[in-house]
């Protein structure tokens, strides 16, 4: 790494946030400014979808697989699926959880219910045999979207996520990570057992500290910081 690269990474890190700082921003936007969380989720998912649309010249011949976890990161993935579908892209949603459990879960549940009403296919992945079957199916997709874990992850990735992440990396497909590559620690850049190696990371409101520390720079790919309507004064 050159001195210029070290300086640039240091500058970017000073402009970036920890998970605790990002959580505080979200809380203030929702509680003090009364911006519903579902609006932030909608903006996040729509912006990622727009970045994906820029990666294809022929939407009608493009297939995008969206890998979703059970939290708000997965909820962003459901929004992405809806917007890509509305732009004539064939989407497949693969959920590492039970559909019935997510439908009980606030904003993510609302967006999953919309997908089901739109007849967009959502497949559950519940164990390692399920992961292995899905990995074979993913070979037929052009772009993969990582919406498994967000910035809140701090413990090691467990199964079946670990096998899924390792398998996805081995497919050598373009991967777009939502907010942060799943498995990278937001604060330190450490790999938490396994991590998605993204082609592009579309992150929200500000970059994250871990993008420029530890293994972060090797896993984020191109970093795109996008506005999700968090009030500007909160970011100053």
231 — pLDDT class (breaks 50, 70, 90): very high
Q: Please list the alpha-helical segments (H only) found in the chain.
A: 3-14, 19-31, 37-53, 72-86, 99-102, 106-117, 128-138, 161-170, 216-219
Sign of the dihedral through C-alpha 34, 78, 176, 166: positive
Class of domain 3-235: alpha beta
Per-residue DSSP letters for 3-71? HHHHHHHHHHHHT-B-HHHHHHHHHHHHHTS---HHHHHHHHHHHHHHHHHTT-S-GGG-EEEEEE-SS
pLDDT on residue 15: 79
The pLDDT of residue 236 is above 90: no
* 211-235: average pLDDT: 95
Global confidence as pTM:
0.93
- Give 8 or 145, the one with higher predicted confidence: 145
CA atoms within 13 A on the CB side of 195: 30
Domain boundaries along the sequence of the chain: 3-235
Q: Which of 14-28, 59-73, 78-92, 143-157 has the lowest mean pLDDT?
A: 14-28
Tokens of 99: 């559909």
Tokens of 18: 């920890």
pLDDT per residue over 80-121, tens digit each?
999 999 999 999 999 999 999 999 879 999 999 999 999 999
The pLDDT of residue 4 is above 70: no
pLDDT per residue over 141-185, tens digit each?
999 999 999 999 999 999 999 999 999 999 999 999 999 999 999
The pLDDT of residue 36 is above 50: yes
What is the distance between the alpha carbons of residues 232 and 149, in angstroms, rounded to a whole number?
Answer: 26
The pLDDT of residue 8 is above 60: no
**Percentage of the chain modeled with pLDDT above 90:** 90
């Amino acid at each position: 790494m050159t001195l210029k690269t070290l300086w640039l990474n240091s500058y970017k890190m000073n402009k970036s946030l920890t998970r605790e700082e990002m959580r505080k921003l979200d809380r203030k936007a929702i509680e003090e400014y009364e911006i519903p969380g579902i609006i932030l989720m909608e903006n996040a998912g729509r912006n990622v979808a727009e970045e994906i649309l820029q990666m294809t010249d022929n939407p009608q011949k493009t297939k995008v697989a969206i890998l979703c976890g059970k939290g708000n990161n997965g909820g962003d993935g459901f929004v992405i699926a809806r917007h890509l579908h509305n732009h004539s892209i064939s989407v497949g949603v693969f959920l590492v959880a039970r559909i019935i459990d997510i439908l009980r879960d606030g904003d993510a549940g609302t967006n999953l219910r919309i997908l089901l009403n739109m007849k967009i296919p959502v497949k559950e992945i519940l164990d390692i045999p399920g992961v292995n079957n899905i990995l074979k199916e993913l070979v037929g997709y052009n772009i993969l979207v990582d919406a498994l874990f967000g910035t809140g992850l701090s413990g090691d990735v467990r199964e079946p996520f670990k096998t899924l992440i390792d398998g996805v990396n081995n497919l050598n497909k373009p991967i777009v990570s939502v907010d942060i590559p799943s498995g990278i620690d937001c604060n330190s850049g450490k790999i938490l057992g396994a991590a998605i190696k993204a082609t592009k990371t579309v992150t929200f409101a500000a970059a994250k500290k871990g993008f420029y520390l530890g293994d972060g720079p090797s896993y984020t790919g191109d970093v795109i910081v996008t506005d999700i309507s968090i009030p500007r004064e909160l970011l100053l």
